[in-house]
Structure 1
Amino acid sequence: MEPEHKTSEAHRTRIGVLYALAAFFMWGLVVPLHFKLLSSIPPLQILAHRIVWASLFALGLIFAFRQWRQLVEAVFSGRRLLLLALSAGLIAINWLIYIWAVNSGHLVQTSLGYFINPLLNVVLGVLFLHERLHPAQVAACLLAGVGVLVLGISSGEMPWVALALACSFGFYGLVRKVVQVAPLVGFCIESLLLTPLALGYLAMTFADGSAAAFQGQIGLDVLLVLTGFTTAAPLIWFAAGAQRLKLSTIGLLQYLAPSGQLALGVLAYGEAFGWVDAIAFGLIWMALAIYTVSALRSAPAQ
């Protein structure tokens, strides 16, 4: 018979894995499919609706989980509010690029961006947090850089969509790492900071007759409202999983999301993926494998 603490720890891990899998399944398959269904709407309008409905969804969760006091404390903390305003701007840029890329036939590039992101996080940690790299991690970053260069040289231009997604989300993660606030509270404040701009823009679209929402297409309206759920839910599930799992486990599972995006882009939507792309992605996957093995070996036992 297993000791009680081992049983409870195993249960905690299983729950954590389920939360993490749900988050990465949403990011890898459900979210891009969701935005594909909204491809008839301009990306900026989708973004504005995403912000507004995510704010309402997050506020509902704040009151449901009784975290309104933490919300008020964070709002009245000048430094934290300033940092969250910065992170809000970064995540809005990331969302807009992602929405445009998905609906413009660039799912392969979005997947590339999120494959690059973990390695970019390593570089940002060195530059801004004075973290130290193992030789294997240096090799992984250089190998990923070669992969990006291969894509750039073969196409005649750098994969800007992938790089913009990786950089905006990388710097977003950096800011959120240094601001001391609970995940749900931070996400709610970010959404609320962006909401006045989103509402102002949506008001303009209704005034000039260019609004896509609430024009009698109920299915479209429902899809726009659901952007609040598909935005907030995976972030919350990810935070719940991260609290229960080792960082190395989360690091391994996070590659499921861009893998899903890549499969959707190539298999479902017929995006181009030639031998040069295969070489470049192969180099980046090798880099991720080197980085992951290095992280697993250096991770403290728990």
Structure 2
Amino acid sequence: MKNKGIYYGLSAYVLWGLITLYWKLVVGVSPLATMCYRILWSFVFMMVFILLSGKRQQFIAELRLLWRNKAYAGLITLASVLISINWFTFIFAVSAGHVMQASLGYYINPLVNVLLATVFLKERLSRSGLIACLLASIGVIMLSIQTGSIPYASLIMAFSFSTYGLIKRRIPISSVTGLTVETGIILPFALVYMFGFSTVAFMDYPLQTNLLLAGAGVVTAIPLLLFAEAAKSISYITLGFIQYINPTIMLLLAVFLFHETYTVAQFSAFAFIWFGIAVFTYGTLGRAIKERRMSVSK
């Protein structure tokens, strides 16, 4: 069961890394329109998935929970806004040729998780966590100095997704219901844009582009569902190790396929971030081994 969970996790993160290629194929569509189509077809796919997978009763029960609990309803509304911001920023970065910035966002995301947990959940920041955050901060500052601008896309992606995850922890519903409701909440706004403000009529693109836009629902949902299955059967430590597959694939694509500029100075800045990740991972693994030994000795 554990090996199966690892395969699910590896599949999810590899797909998330390769999704960069998918959005590169969507040409002639603005980032905002692409995000709106992604929301629409993700909602459609999830509704079909719920019906075909026999999760209809669970979905209805969790909808009733959200309806009865206004706090949960407010939180999932905020979550839908945050994931929309994350999706738009990612699509914008990729379409603008800044895949490396998108990669950076996913590299620093786990460290932002630590920071938010310390601030909002009052979790104690370990020495390794503090050092990791400082090293990552140095790397981001170095990149800002080198490029002459703050890597806003990276920071928006990292903080929006980390805050999204923080909020999701407080809502006791499945990932299937969560994604369906989140896309459903933001869907009316996406439809208003597509039918009222977009300069291109609904799905009035070449056939290949229309197929790619329709497939965005599948591309969005499948990695998330795989990740949800992985999270059920393998430890957070294991997930922590394999989650860096995603930004590493994106970084390799940025340098070797899309030929984005990657100077020695940029490598030095990324090195601080990688070193921070190594410190964070080593500290987390060390605590897990120590706790396991203590539990065995008892």
Instruction: Say if 2:93 is the partner of 1:101.
Output: yes
Structure 1: segments with no counterpart, 5+ residues? 1-11
Letter in 1 for 2:140: V
Cross-structure match for 1:211: 201
> Do structure 1's residue 62 and structure 2's residue 54 form an aligned pair?
no
- Cα distance between partner residues in 2 of 1:154 and 1:100: 22
The residue number in structure 2 matching 1:3 is none
Alignment partner of 1:46 is 2:34 = yes
Asked if residue 187 in structure 1 is aligned to residue 179 in structure 2, the reply is yes
| Count of residues in correspondence between the two structures | 287
Q: Counterpart in 1 of 2:268?
A: 279
SS in 2 for 1:105: coil
Letter in 2 for 1:249: T
Letter in 2 for 1:91: I
For residue 169 of structure 2, give the secondary structure of its aligned residue in structure 1: helix
Q: C-alpha displacement at 1:277, in angstroms?
A: 0.8
Partners in 2 of 1:293 and 1:284 — Cα distance?
14
Give the superposition deviation at 1:71: 2.5
- The one of 226, 231, 236 equivalent to 2:220 is 231
Seen in structure 2, the aligned counterparts of structure 1 residues 81 and 16 have a Cα distance that, compared at 3 Å, is same
Which SS does the other structure have where 2:226 is aligned?
helix
Q: Secondary structure at the match of 1:214?
A: coil
Structure 2 residue ranges without an equivalent (≥5): none
* Alpha carbons 2:27, 2:209 under 8 Å: kept: no
**Aligned equivalent of 1:89, options 81, 86, 92:** 81
Q: TM-score, normalised on structure 1? A: 0.91
Give the secondary structure class of the aligned counterpart of 2:157. Answer: helix
Root-mean-square deviation over aligned CA pairs: 1.5
* TM-score, with structure 2 as normaliser: 0.93
Report sequence identity in percent: 34
Q: Name the aligned partner's letter for residue 211 of structure 1.
A: A
Q: Does the 8 A contact of 1:23 with 1:237 survive in 2?
A: yes
**1:25 aligned partner:** 14
Equivalent position of 2:249 in the other structure:
260
Q: 1:212 to 1:282 in 2, by over 3 A?
A: farther
State the match for 1:72 in structure 2. 60
Change (3 A) 1:209 1:168: closer
C-alpha offsets along residues 127-167 of structure 1, whole Å, 9 cap, x if unaligned?
A: 00111121111111111111111111122211111111111
- Counterparts of 1:202 and 1:227, CA distance in 2: 16
